[in-house]
Amino acid sequence: MGSGAAGPRGGNLRQDLVAQQLRHPSNGLPRRPAAPLPGYEALDPCVHCGFCLPACPTYLVTGDEGHSPRGRIVLMRALERGEMDAKDPALLEHLDACLGCRGCEPACPSGVGYGRGLETARKQLFEARGLSPMARMVLGVFRYGGIWRPLLGMARALRGTGLPSLLAGKGRLRFGMGMLASTAEVRAGTEKAEKTERAERMNSPTFPSFPSSPSSPSVALFRGCVMNALFNHVHQATKRTLEANGYRVVEAPGQVCCGALHEHAGDLGGARALAAVNIAALADRADFIVVNSAGCGALLKDYGHLVGSENAGLVASKVRDVSELLAERGPRRGAPLDLEVVYDAPCHLQHAQGVQQAPLGMLSAIPGLRVRLLPGSDRCCGSAGIYSVLRPRMARAVLDGKIESFAVAEPRPHLVVTGNPGCLMQIGAGLKAARLPIEVAHPVELLDLSYDEAGYYG
């Protein structure tokens, strides 16, 4: 396939790809350059069967082979061989439009490591053409705590005015307001005064009422950037529920953004620089490192691969999603919550980390909670790091199907729960734009509420 042979919606791409494969002998496997880039070999098992196509959100939205995993794999191989230029508009359009959700991986019977291939391709693209001004600005902000802390602090203050909730709706600005409004704590079915009193009590220095013993496993809380600034209530819920299940939670000062946004964009240097700071902050702090953001957790578990040092591997080996630690303990049962809940699985939890049952196991400790999975609950919501900022149209189109499934669900759910800040914001904003009276929450918030109702917190 020649450079630019297929446009962004090139209907001939599939035929071109097949023709290209036929030009290459060796059983359909493409030739490699003399010094192949590590990572592309993960694509070797692809036999172009197309089983992954129905699992790909961008293919489902566009019906375009170039927006499918199979099409992108052929484009990545063409990039690897130097048959397509790293600045080819068609190549950029198709690879940039990939959510990186890895929904194609479990659908693949050949075990193709799509994510590793994409990581290598994006690194190559980053080195060849850099970033768009918008991506450069957003990633620049998250490189430096001196920038993102005050900015996110201002966002939190704006959220506190209640304006984002009032202004939430359709359109880019109003959708952004909906995203910000969706970061607020949800205490379903509780009155405001009661909520304030409870929050004060639960955040008091005398908490928790479960004294830990020196033999309790210690857990360092990964605070991150957006989670720390806008979802501190999820951090508090994480600490309380872990302590209620016999863990000793410790702080690890000196942390920064995990670097996942940079890694997704191909800026591996930026991601490694941030990882190095976190590794220094987290190494030797505790038996486990708990993360309640699926995107951060996926990268922290991959620090060994990203950084390649012994310390990085050690830190990575200790990382657990909060649901994993709690599910390991049972967890302890709470008080009943009479709620209809839909669980939506974050891609970076289910595909990247392979954590599927633990969140449901955690929620099963809440009597009376009716948890359902809707069709497409395992499909990306379109958030995907900064994808929804860079490609809002495609992100919204991907989200629409999910929102529709919430709208028609019978009985109507009270809450959608998902363990990733980007998903909470994207789905929450979509629900507000569709004027659906459904809230979003992190699963650990519900367990925390159930424990509070049970009187575990004194």
- Contacts to ligand SF4 by CB under 6 A: 46-52, 55-58, 69-70, 72-73, 98-104, 107-108, 110, 112, 114
- CA pseudo-torsion sign 204, 205, 206, 210: positive
- Backbone dihedral angles phi then psi of residue 276, each to the nearest 5 degrees: -60, -40
φ, ψ of residue 401 to 5 degrees: the values are -60, -40
Cβ 380 to ligand SF4, closest distance in Å?
6
Smallest gap, in angstroms, from Cβ of residue 76 to ligand SF4? 10
**Minimum distance, C-beta of residue 381 to ligand SF4, in the bound complex (Å):** 12
- Cα distance between residue 417 and residue 429, in whole Å: 14
Give the tokens for residue 413: 């759910």
CB-count exposure of residue 393 (10 Å: 0-12, 13-18, 19+): exposed
Neighbour tally for 321: CB within 10 Å: 29
Of 79 and 99, nearer to ligand SF4 (C-beta) is 99
For ligand SF4, the closer CB: 72 or 262: 72
Q: Hey, what are 158's tokens? A: 């704006």
- Cβ proximity to ligand SF4, 72 vs 235, nearer residue: 72
Do the Cβ atoms of 370 and 414 come closer than 8 Å?
no
Closer residue to ligand SF4 in complex, CB, 305/333: 305
CB of residue 55 vs ligand SF4: minimum separation in angstroms?
A: 6
Q: Is 364 exposed, middle or buried (0-12, 13-18, 19+ CB in 10 A)?
A: middle
Q: Report yes or no: 352 and 115 within 8 Å, Cβ to Cβ.
A: yes
Q: How far is the CB of 299 from ligand SF4 (least distance, A)?
A: 16
54: left (phi over 0), alpha (psi -120 to 50) or beta: alpha
How far, in Å, CA of 398 to CA of 363, rounded?
A: 27
Nearer to ligand SF4, 52 or 220 (CB): 52
* Smallest distance, ligand SF4 to C-beta of residue 352, A: 10
Q: Which residue lies nearer to ligand SF4 by CB, 72 or 285? A: 72
Nearer of residues 305 and 370 to ligand SF4, judged by Cβ: 305
To ligand SF4, the closest distance from the beta carbon of 385 in angstroms equals: 12
